[in-house]
Amino acid sequence: MDFVLLGPPGCGKGTQAIIFKNKYGFFHMSAGDMLRDVVKSGSKIGQEIGEIIDRGDIVKDALISSMVGDAIRKISPEQAVFFDGYPRSIRQAEDLDLMLSVLNREISKVFYFDMTEQGLIERIQGRMICPKCKAVYHEKFYPPKADGSCQCCGHPSLLKRNDDDVTILKKRLHVFEENTRPIVEYYKQQGRLVVVQSNQPIENVTIELESFIALTKN
């Protein structure tokens, strides 16, 4: 069983993906992490992607689908996947279905994390990320250890992302509405969409996801 986590930036997709990775062994397929790793490489394509991310724009479908496809083929058939940050367009959703079908995999459910713009602003302003294991924290809602270190891997310090800025967030929300919102209807028509109210406590969202996944297994 594989699942897609959909929703605007800052809604808590990555946090839940990390929780399920650590608790149940899910594979966390983070398109954002893959792209940021390419940026860190310092290559020409990495520089171009870095500029796109900093502007809050969306990376070309063919490029990100190719990267995700390469990663999927390396995952054990028995390991469930949370796709986080991909797909972000109808074309990418179609690419994903095709890539999975070749491997006898499929998307069981698509969880849409619904949240108000003000809630998203509050989330991204306090968001912190572990540079080693990619665990996501929040100063108010999901704080790290008292000394500021990562609860998951013990890394001594956390970072704030360059694109965790209110101005960039609003640009990313515009891009989300234009490119990604149509996917919500796409999956709804297929009967695979589940709406999750992500403005509730993190542990409540986890319980809700666990319930839907358990029903899917049965």
Q: Show which residues are catalytic.
A: 13, 88, 127, 161, 172
Give the pair of three-digit tokens for residue 205. Answer: 């969202």
Tell me how far apart the alpha carbons of residues 148 and 176 are, in angstroms, rounded to a whole number. Answer: 32
Cα–Cα distances in Å, from 63 out to 38, 60, 92, 202, 218? 12, 6, 10, 32, 36
Cβ neighbours for 35, distance < 8 A, ≥ 6 positions apart = 49, 53, 59, 64, 67
- 171 phi, psi to nearest 5 deg: -65, -40
Cβ neighbours for 103, distance < 8 A, ≥ 6 positions apart = 72, 73, 77
Tell me how far apart the alpha carbons of residues 137 and 126 are, in angstroms, rounded to a whole number. Answer: 8
